[in-house]
């Protein structure tokens, strides 16, 4: 427990569950399946695997090292490692601003999810006619009041966990929710795979179509890999500062990455076979989960309702553990000697809910939908900024710092737990991946993305 507030995870298992809880979220279950389908299924998957394991995982290890070495929040961690170059603190700051923006968007989508869970539970979702789900979603998401209620409830839950503390809140909730999430997902996969015609869904998800994999698809794969692993924004620096001293960073990072990847793929396996078996359009995009899946559940008869409750519960729980990590990062940053943890969490929650409300009002046909920034509605602008632009920029700066500005001895010392673990693997990780492969790949994809735009 090296942090300024004395907070920390009690065990490696707890730390892995919390970090996996941050990684596994709406990005895996809501975003990954439709992006994968859109950009060529198996072809996208190949590029995605590369980004996840050779860039995302390397960044995760780097952030853990920076966090545990310093025991500080991202803004203080960089200058602590390079006191003569205080300008690096801005990398931490941009990361935290990105967390703030992501949390606002995240709250809006989590609010929709909670509403759909509630509607499945009370049964109103099953009374909607087959051709009414699109209109139902648009009407709900664009309405000024109802989404706010669910956003507020979701944020309240998140804030309560943060106020409870890192070990008693974040770690305990993650240890409870992550296994439930896996069980629910496996249940959904089995149900989906046993439907007639499920094979077409699997083939849509896995057979590679390279003609659909454009430059835009490659940039989307990178953005998705970073977003999904929660790296580049400093959240893993924060969790790194809570890691137990004897945690094997390399091993934990591999576990978290494998778990995140597996859950994304399983989500595709839970969704697409069901969509195909019920004759629905798999290219539903972001609306797939809210407009197409409820219809799929309705066509399954009485079990559909159970399926629907389970699915939206799964999505809400996954979103909760991710939102917790975002709010934790912001809370840790603000809290210190002058402001304690609880007021910090409350101040940050109040600030972020204002932005979330603005984003919600500007969604679809909402009351602020006429206001445009860079030609986009505010919600879409935020989504673009946090989905494809800011994370790769922050990630590039983080890995350049790690590979080129941090002292190599500090890195090796931290990775080997002060010489307790064998270091030969870390040399490969450091000399090849962290110094060259990851920064170069990030740079190339970023430049290509800018040129393409
Ligand atoms: N990894 C989360 C997801 O896949 O939904 C989202 C996320 C959480 C992104 C925390 C970034 C972050 F810092």
- Work out the pLDDT band at 5, boundaries 50, 70, 90: low
pLDDT the model gives residue 195:
87
Nearest by Cα to 188 from 88, 100, 300: 300
Query: pLDDT tens digit string along 314-351?
Result: 999 999 999 999 999 999 999 988 899 999 999 999 99
Determine the average pLDDT of the residues in 288-302: 85
pLDDT at 1 over 50: no
Compute the average pLDDT of residues 380-409: 91
Q: What does the DSSP assignment read for 58-89?
A: HHHHHHHHHHHHH-S-HHHHHHHH-TT-GGGH
Tell me the per-residue pLDDT of 92-134, one tens digit each, with 9 for 90 and over. 999 999 999 999 999 999 999 999 999 999 999 999 998 899 9
pLDDT at 98: 96
Mutate to test the pocket of ligand 1, among 25, 74, 104 (most ligand atoms within 8 A of CB): 25
Pocket test for ligand 1, best of 103, 325, 330, 348 (most atoms within 8 A of CB): 325
Q: Is the CB of 326 under 6 A from ligand 1?
A: yes
Rounded to whole angstroms, how far apart are CA atoms 431 and 448? 25
Q: Hey, whose CA ends up nearest to atom 10 of ligand 1?
A: 230
CA angle 286–386–148, rounded 5-degree value: 65
Closest listed residue to residue 57, CA positions, set 213, 198, 234, 258: 258
Q: Calculate what percentage of the chain has a pLDDT beyond 90.
A: 71
Mean pLDDT of 238-249: 96
pLDDT of amino acid 2: 47
Measure the CA–CA gap between 395 and 233, rounded to whole angstroms: 7
Residue 2 has phi, psi (to 5 degrees) of: -95, 0
Q: What is the pLDDT of residue 4?
A: 59
227: Cβ below 6 Å to ligand 1? yes
Long-range contacts of 343-349 (CB under 8 A, 24+ apart): 345/159, 345/162, 345/163, 346/159, 346/163, 348/100, 349/155, 349/158, 349/159
CB 178 within 8 A of CB 20: yes
- Dist. CA 451 → ligand 1 center (Å): 26
DSSP string across 33-56: HHHHHHTTBHHHHHHHHHHIIIII
Mean pLDDT of the region 277-282: 83
Question: Cα separation of 135 and 16, whole Å?
Answer: 41
For the chain, domains (ranges, CATH) are 12-452 (1.20.1740.10)
Indicate if the pLDDT at residue 183 is higher than 60.
yes
Distance 227 CA to ligand 1 centre (A): 5
Contact present, 13 and 183 (Cβ < 8 Å): no
Closest CA to 108 of 76, 155, 64: 155
Report CA(448)–ligand 1 centroid distance (Å).
Answer: 24
Out of 188-192, 237-241, 291-295, give the one with best mean pLDDT. Answer: 237-241
Mean pLDDT of the chain: 92
Q: How far is the CA of 106 from the centre of ligand 1 (A)?
A: 9
Question: 231 alpha carbon to ligand 1 midpoint, in Å?
Answer: 8
Q: Is 159 in the pocket of ligand 1 (CB under 6 A)?
A: no
Pocket probe mutation, ligand 1, options 228, 231, 333, max atoms within 8 Å of Cβ:
228
Distance from residue 22's CA to the centre of ligand 1 (Å): 6
Least confident of 19-28, 214-223, 391-400: 214-223
Ligand 1, residue 232: give the atom nearest the CA.
Answer: 13
Q: What is the pTM of this model?
A: 0.94
Q: Which of 348, 363, 360, 435 is nearest to 400 (CA)?
A: 435
CA of 105 to the centre of ligand 1 (A): 11
- pLDDT grade for 216, boundaries at 50, 70 and 90: confident
């Amino acid at each position: 427990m090296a942090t300024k507030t004395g907070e920390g995870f009690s065990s490696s298992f707890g730390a892995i569950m919390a970090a996996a809880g941050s990684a596994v979220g709406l990005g895996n279950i809501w975003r990954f399946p439709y992006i994968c389908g859109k950009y060529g299924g198996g072809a996208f998957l190949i590029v995605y695997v590369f980004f996840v394991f050779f860039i995302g995982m390397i960044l995760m290890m780097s952030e853990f090292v920076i966090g545990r070495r310093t025991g500080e929040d991202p803004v203080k961690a960089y200058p602590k490692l390079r006191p003569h170059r205080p300008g690096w603190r801005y990398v931490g700051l941009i990361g935290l601003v990105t967390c703030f923006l992501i949390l606002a968007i995240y709250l809006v989508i989590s609010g929709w999810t909670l509403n759909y869970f509630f509607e499945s539970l009370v049964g109103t979702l099953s009374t909607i006619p087959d051709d009414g789900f699109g209109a139902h979603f648009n009407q709900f998401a664009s309405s000024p009041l109802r989404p706010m209620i669910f956003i507020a409830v979701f944020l309240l839950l998140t804030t309560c966990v943060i106020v409870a503390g890192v070990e008693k809140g974040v770690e305990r909730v993650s240890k409870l929710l992550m296994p439930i999430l896996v069980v629910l997902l496996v249940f959904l996969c089995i149900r989906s795979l046993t439907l007639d015609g499920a094979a077409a869904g699997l083939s849509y998800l896995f057979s590679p179509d390279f003609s659909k994999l454009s430059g835009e698809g490659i940039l989307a794969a990178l953005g998705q890999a970073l977003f999904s692993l929660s790296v580049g924004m400093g959240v893993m620096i924060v969790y790194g500062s809570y890691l137990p001293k004897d945690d094997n960073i390399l091993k934990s990072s591999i576990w978290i990455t494998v778990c995140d990847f597996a859950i994304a793929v399983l989500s595709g396996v839970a969704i697409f076979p069901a969509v195909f078996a019920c004759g629905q359009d798999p290219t539903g995009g972001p609306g797939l989960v809210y407009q197409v899946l409820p219809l799929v559940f309705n066509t399954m008869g009485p079990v559909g309702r159970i399926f629907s409750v389970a699915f939206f519960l799964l999505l809400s729980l996954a979103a909760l553990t991710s939102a917790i990590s975002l709010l934790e990062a912001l809370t840790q940053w603000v809290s210190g000697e002058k402001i304690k943890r609880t007021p910090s969490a409350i101040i940050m929650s109040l600030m972020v809910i204002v932005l979330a409300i603005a984003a919600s009002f500007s969604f679809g046909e909402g009351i602020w939908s006429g206001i445009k920034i860079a030609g986009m509605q505010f919600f879409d602008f935020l989504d673009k900024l946090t989905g494809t632009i800011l994370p790769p920029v922050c990630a590039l700066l983080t890995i350049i710092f790690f590979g080129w500005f941090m002292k190599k001895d500090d890195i090796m010392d931290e990775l080997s737990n002060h010489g307790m673990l064998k270091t030969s693997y870390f040399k490969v990780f450091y000399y090849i991946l962290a110094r060259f492969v990851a920064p170069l790949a990030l740079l190339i994809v970023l430049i290509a993305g800018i040129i393409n735009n």
